[in-house]
Amino acid sequence: MLHHLKKGLKSLFSCHILCIGMLILNTSCNETKKKSTEVSSITSQKPNILILLTDQWRAQATGYAGDPNIKTPNLDRLASESINFSNAVSGTPVCTPYRAALLTGQLPLTTGIFMNDIQLNPDALTMAEIFGEHDYDTGYIGKWHLDGHGRLQNVPTGERRQGFEFWNGNECTHDYNNSVYYDNENPNRKIWEQYDTFDQTDAALHYINDRKEIDNPFLMVVSYGTPHGPYHTAPKAYRDRFDPENIILRPNVPEKSKKRAKKELSGYYAHIAAIDDMIGKITEELKANGQWDNTMILFSSDHGDLLGSHGELKKQQPYDESIRVPMLLKMPAHANLKPSINKTVVNSEDILPTLLGLTNIAIPSTIEGTDYSTSIKNNEDVDNAALIRSIQPFGSWNRNRGGREYRGLRTPRYTYTRDLNGPWLLFDNQEDPYQENNLIGNKDYATIQSELETKLSQRLKANKDEFLPGSEYIKKWGYTVDKTGTVPYTE
């Protein structure tokens, strides 16, 4: 509750100052506040912010990234008008931790959100609350996965919606053709009539169109559940486009995994093709109704999917197929920024402070991510390193299946990780883009390994991360886990 007290005192202090100005200038406190807010934006017209978030979409799986199996013409078109962050990562590559970092700009050991199905503290200061305080209307559609009260249960109106006003959300479901959601204040469970990606898109378009004549800008998050598995549940017209026999696998898929990988990828790409069509529908509508030029669009994913690479499935692991995500940022026209490829390694917790920086909104002290707005405005790449981690391996990557705690760095060129026993993986991603050659102990890379280990140690110290076994953090936060290290959840 402390930050809410601070927020209240800050608002009271601001209003007191403004009202002194009212007495001096003979204006109203509200008028003064309005003028002050207008000066703080990029221009006198604040940009709308539309976040298109997907689930388990790895960075490699787009047309513009060169995937030979999939055509994504609408995303490619968006990429041609956007800043493409080609090294974006999910620092804790699994659903709930990413979403907590996105909304708060905080690290998982700060929020305690380092596994799935944990509730984000309702007192957390979030994206919706911050933008809401600057006159943004806020809305959320689709997968939430931050409430921890059962995957098919309602996230009720109030503090558990973390500041979002409009709500067509669900906690978590992977039944995309019988998909549960809750409509604003209605506590009764509803079902999207179609494949939910389609209906969620239509709901977003209704929301956007309803605000054409409203002065307030909007912050809207559209959170699709796909292309997360089950992979073979997209509409048949999309599934029929992808024959498993014709799938071209990444070179790091071992022979034993190839048959399953081809089968799963054929369904994975079907989900992607459907989302690509919906992104085209959204962008076309924004252009047709006159909102395109004043809308900032962020497209990304909460983590990737190994899908047979390195003989593994799903996420959590430090390989690029798991940690790297697509990230496009289409700026409003008045920002006067040309489309580009930016090699800065943007992490999950960096998104919120960067959006705030781009809209000239002060970044609260609670936020721990990095604001890259200045480098974006200057069209500069930052030679940086993003922290990647597994605090408590669980679920499909539990200890019985080779899961382990790790901390690491992903730079524009290298991936380095350490587990509890010491150095684990080192890849030169420029020379070895499929991460097939572990360079730990290689004398030719001894200096690089030493430098990365030093940087990692410094980052952990700065973050007060002692890198303890996952059981210690479970104990600290008072979580209950099953034999796989997973927080049990109900439907």
Catalytic entry in 145, 228, 271, 303: 145
Distances (CA, A) of 14 to 9, 33, 113: 8, 9, 33
Strand 295-301 and strand 327-330: the pairing is antiparallel
Q: Which of 173, 159, 136 is nearest to 51 (CA)?
A: 136
Burial of 288 (0-12, 13-18, 19+ CB in 10 A): exposed
Bridge partners of residue 298, in order along the sequence:
51, 329
Angstrom distance (rounded) from CA 74 to CA 87: 21
Angstrom distance (rounded) from CA 105 to CA 89: 14
Give the CA diameter of the chain.
78
Is 232 designated active site?
Answer: no
Helices within 251-336 (DSSP H only)? 258-288, 320-323
Catalytic entry in 3, 15, 95, 206: 95
Is 145 designated active site?
Answer: yes
Angstrom distance (rounded) from CA 328 to CA 350: 14
Kindly report whether the peptide bond that precedes residue 230 is cis, defined as omega within 30 degrees of 0: yes
User: Each residue of 467-476: b (16+ CB within 10 Å) or e?
Assistant: beebeebbee
Three-state DSSP class for residue 284: helix
Q: Which of 14, 46, 48 is nearest to 30 (CA)?
A: 14
* 399 secondary structure, DSSP code: G
Q: Which residues have a catalytic role annotated?
A: 95, 145
